[in-house]
Structure 1
């Protein structure tokens, strides 16, 4: 297998035109010059904590030091320059919170093997360059503003922090994908690098943050039931039910032994409700809001299965979209124009006809529509964003991540 890899690399080298006699470390003069050119402008924003080593390399052009720097540069490009980002946890205020990161394995032996085989530095770095356009767009904005004496250090740090966040996004972004930018309160469907759909969203409260993660959209639920999470049952539904015996009827809810509407019926009198007020852990009975035009989840939700139990959905609280800051959900993402999203996704990412979608939608019964074309969904926390790779937009640090995440340089 290793022989095949070397032959493939050698063939790629012939195509790339990288020639010359390698030294004992495997460096050719063309590779050294190329790497020094990349480092001079820090093209991929990845010198980071290696400034001292870079100075030594620039002065000496020592091959061993250059090999060490190439590996470090690749590591910083692949996994970012935010301290402890790969641990997926950080302290925000006094609480530990999750921030999804997708570390990539960087093998120094593989890098050196490619180097010795004669691959160009660009070829070696290419697998680790973020696919998301915001990487190059934010980098360009950063370099332009850095030359402007009127640009504050805090603004430069904010842009740089978001460049590093883009590095942490899940590889395999997809040609088409949905991006939920949490601090912007916007979701976009990007297709062939153009915005096909965009709308406002409501995201999680500061104490119930919408998490940063990536998963593929798998199905659409029409006329969903709301299966009340145990945490909400303990802290909201049960306390209200104890105060008002008619609470379930008013909110179109039923009690069952499981989240299946066909499971055993229960009544508030048949269980010890007080035993499940507050605290944590599973509740041995479930509250379900049945499908209706007034259901809290609205008429549609979009499921990209994840351990956070987060999804995009319709909402009855349309008035919230008039507000500038929209942190009101329990973590899920509420859509401003759910029917626009439904029409676009059902047309382009399912094999279900528009007529069949309407029939299922109008039935007021729960139906599931399978996604047949890949559409990754990425939730991101970008407090700077370039609109169409031109105008730099800056958003408030609603969850405090800008303060909590530290750059390692």
Structure 2
């Protein structure tokens, strides 16, 4: 009986890749078996463009070929199977047509030497792949949905392609998405607050217009500005507001705005809009404008009463809005790129309670004062804007959304 137990333990150890003599390439019998099992079902949806190599490996079990495939599989898992060269070219072409579009891709370094070191040390293939597996639950959920629907002959190739493309998008997200984070899914027009894997809050949002797209990126929420002033960016001034000021300089005051010389600071020198030669700053021009348009804090401020700041190079944020009626519409792409919130006060209360040292009565008194105050976060909350046209929701239901920014078309799979 004891001999059987000992033999059983040794067999498990061999199969796990923990013991045994490695071959000249560093592979143990158990590691090979484990990798082939992963490849058989393509567990991590990362065979992609390596199908031919996989067939050779399956037939020969050659260690050098297996090493080549392990490195390729790891890279596909870490960095996705979307043709980024052609996608970046399509993005440049859109910007040339004056479409403001940005899609950040968070690439990971995959070194063959690191993989081989772990392999020779006897690590299991699962442990070698683990650092590169996307943290978002959508990765596994979408793979599961894809495999289930693929067995169903009634599902169209277009739907399967859409799901597969979104699996690859999870691989392009920031590797460390955080335990607690806000997930803004642009095609769904929805934000979710996800904590420890569970959605604790979700509601509707308004995102950027098709020519002023909300960028895809990740940053950390640092603070909340209560009763904010709106600093109008130069680009929006050129496209939207300078033509209105040229027609009627009194429009500035009527909108609760002030014009300042070279500064958004309300204490800086104010300028009469009628005294400026606005012809120097044409609508189709570019570059710095030495006059800054500011909408002062008020109940009529375009940003509403609260603004959530996650500093980024795109100068976008989440904020309240005066245009409440737009939330009744199914398609909500109306902003200049920022995310307008359907329930800003609900989010403010949640952040106050769970991510700051203040209490709700204190923050409410700030809110009611109509004076600008800042609520500093003392706990980490990441913000991720994502583009999932396929998403498995909290009930396990796969939902498909329209490709409002055209990324389903411009992102090509490499296989």
With normalisation by structure 2, the TM-score equals: 0.93
The answer as to whether partners of 1:221 and 1:303 remain within 8 angstroms in 2 is yes
Per the TM alignment, residue 20 of structure 1 is displaced from its structure 2 partner at its CA by 1.1
The CA distance in 1 between the partners of 2:388 and 2:290, in whole Å, is 39
Q: Tell me whether 1:390 sits opposite 2:396 in the alignment.
A: yes
1:213-257 deviation line (CA, Å, top 9, x unaligned)? 000000000000000111111122111011113201210010112
Structure 2, unaligned runs of 5 or more: 1-12, 96-100
CA deviation vs aligned residue, 1:85-112 (integer Å, no higher than 9, x gap): 6x98341695144211100000100101
Q: CA RMSD in A?
A: 1.5
How is 1:10-409 mapped onto 2 (pairs within 5 angstroms)? 18-84=18-84, 89-91=88-90, 94-96=93-95, 97-257=101-261, 258-278=263-283, 279-388=285-394, 390-409=396-415
Higher mean alpha-carbon deviation, 215-224 vs 228-237, is at 228-237
Q: Deviations over 1:112-133 (max 9, x none)?
A: 1110111000000000001110
Q: After TM superposition, which residue ranges in structure 1, 4 or more long, deviate above 6 angstroms?
A: none
* Alpha-carbon distance between aligned partners in 2 of 1:93 and 1:239, rounded to the nearest angstrom: 27
Residue 4 (structure 1) aligns with: none
Q: CA deviation at 1:271?
A: 2.2
Q: Deviations over 1:285-318 (max 9, x none)?
A: 1010000001000000100000000100000000
Instruction: Kindly state the Cα deviation for residue 73 of structure 1 after the two structures are TM-superposed.
Output: 0.2
| Aligned equivalents of 1:263, 1:150: Cα separation in 2 | 65
Aligned partners of 1:90 and 1:405 also within 8 Å? no
> 1:170 and 1:224 mapped to 2: Cα distance?
29
**Cα distance, 1:369–1:88 mapped onto 2, change above 3 Å:** farther
**What is residue 10 of structure 1 aligned with on the other side?**
none
Q: When the two structures are superposed, what TM-score results if normalisation uses the length of structure 1? A: 0.94
Question: How far is the alpha carbon of 1:404 from its aligned partner?
Answer: 0.6
Q: Which runs of 5+ in 1 are unaligned?
A: 1-12
**What SS does structure 2 have at the residue aligned with 1:48?**
coil
Between the aligned partners of 2:218 and 2:336, the Cα distance in structure 1 is 18
- Report how many residues are paired: 395
Alignment partners' CA distance in 1, 2:25 and 2:92: 47
